[in-house]
Structure 1
Amino acid sequence: MGNSIVMNQTKQVEAFLQQTVQAIAGYLNEITLTGLLNEQENGDKAYYELLLSNLRRLVVYCEEGLEACRIVLNDEPFRKAAAEKTLYRIYHSCITEFFAPKNDVWYEDSRSAYTGRNSIKFRQTPPPSLKALVASLESSFQAMREELEFYETDYRTKMLQSK
């Protein structure tokens, strides 16, 4: 791929990560465990703690990816190899973490993608505000996954060829 294509993808990912960080950090800054428990009658405190923990982990990965994109984009001259490596890492940390988070508090039902419905399914009933947040993020994560899947195979191929 040409430098301009990779640079444009890096800019696109930077914008996606900026929006994602704002949405998740904004939510985490406003919500409390007590607030979540008040949203849902008979809410499971331990499950809600895991949900919040996964959101915190995801926002950290996204912040790190955002910083990496900014560093790559500010480098003169633009280093295509560094950008591709950054996009590969973002795919594996941010995108993978969204669709398959640690502790399996939610999961992706791949069959739902074919029906046009949200594919994220929760293991237990989540608080409505958290469910709405995840639903609002899902389509942009889906689009980024499709955009960055190329780096999954391309980067691995390059690493195997260099050995």
Structure 2
Amino acid sequence: MSNLIVKSQVQEVHAFLERMVDQIEGFLNNSTIDTLVREKQGDRAYYEGLFSNIRRLLVYCEEGLDACTTVIQNELFLKGVAEKTLYKVYHYCIEEFFNPRYDLWYEDSRSAYTGKSLIKFRQEAPNSIVQLLNNIEGDFHSVREELEYYETDYRTKMMQSKG
């Protein structure tokens, strides 16, 4: 892939991560476990786990944003570094969204054919969390499709360098 294409993708991912950090951080700054319990009576431990997953996703998005900023601001564009950055954004941010650590929500791939949300919760979740994930799901899905190449390409390169 040409340097211009890779650089353009880093810039697009940078903009995506800025939006995600703003939305997720805004949610976390304005929510507590108590507000979630008041919003919808449910399993407090489950809500705490949802918060933990969302905080973890935010950290990964912030780290990805920092890495993209570094690549963009570097006077000399380093294609290899940019590709590795895109791979890491895919591996950490995108994968964490669709397959969170504690498996409190999951991707229902069948929903893609029905036009419904891909994200399903293991238990009933407060509407504010459902709404947050629904709001950012489309962007995560689009970026996943754009970056799948780097996931495959980077792993292939790593395997070849070990051989």
TM range (shorter): over 0.9
Distance apart, 1:30 and its partner CA: 0.4
Offset from partner CA, 1:81-137 (integer Å, 9 cap, x none):
000000000100000000000111100001111222111000000000110000000
2:128 & 2:152 partners in 1: Cα distance?
36
Alignment map for 1:22-101 (pairs within 5 Å): 22-40=22-40, 42-101=41-100
Distance apart, 1:161 and its partner CA: 1.9
Alignment map for 1:112-131 (pairs within 5 Å): 112-131=111-130
- Quote the residue 2:4 is aligned against: 4
Counterpart residue identity of residue 76, structure 1: E
Question: What is the TM-score when the length of structure 2 is the normalising length?
Answer: 0.98
- Quote the residue 1:107 is aligned against: 106
1:74 & 1:67 partners in 2: Cα distance?
10
Question: What is the TM-score when the length of structure 1 is the normalising length?
Answer: 0.98
SS of residue matched to 2:106: strand
1:115 & 1:154 partners in 2: Cα distance?
31
Structure 1: 5+ residue runs without aligned partners? none
SS of residue matched to 1:104: coil
Distance apart, 1:74 and its partner CA: 0.9
2:60 & 2:159 partners in 1: Cα distance?
26
2:148 & 2:52 partners in 1: Cα distance?
26
Structure 2: 5+ residue runs without aligned partners? none
1:21 equivalent to 2:21? Answer yes
Distance apart, 1:157 and its partner CA: 1.3
Q: Identity of aligned pairs, percent?
A: 59
Distance apart, 1:153 and its partner CA: 0.9
Distance apart, 1:65 and its partner CA: 0.2
Distance apart, 1:7 and its partner CA: 0.3
Q: Which runs of 4+ in 1 moved over 3 A?
A: none
Counterpart residue identity of residue 53, structure 1: S
Aligned residues: CA RMSD:
0.7
Counterpart residue identity of residue 104, structure 1: D
Alignment map for 1:147-162 (pairs within 5 Å): 147-162=146-161
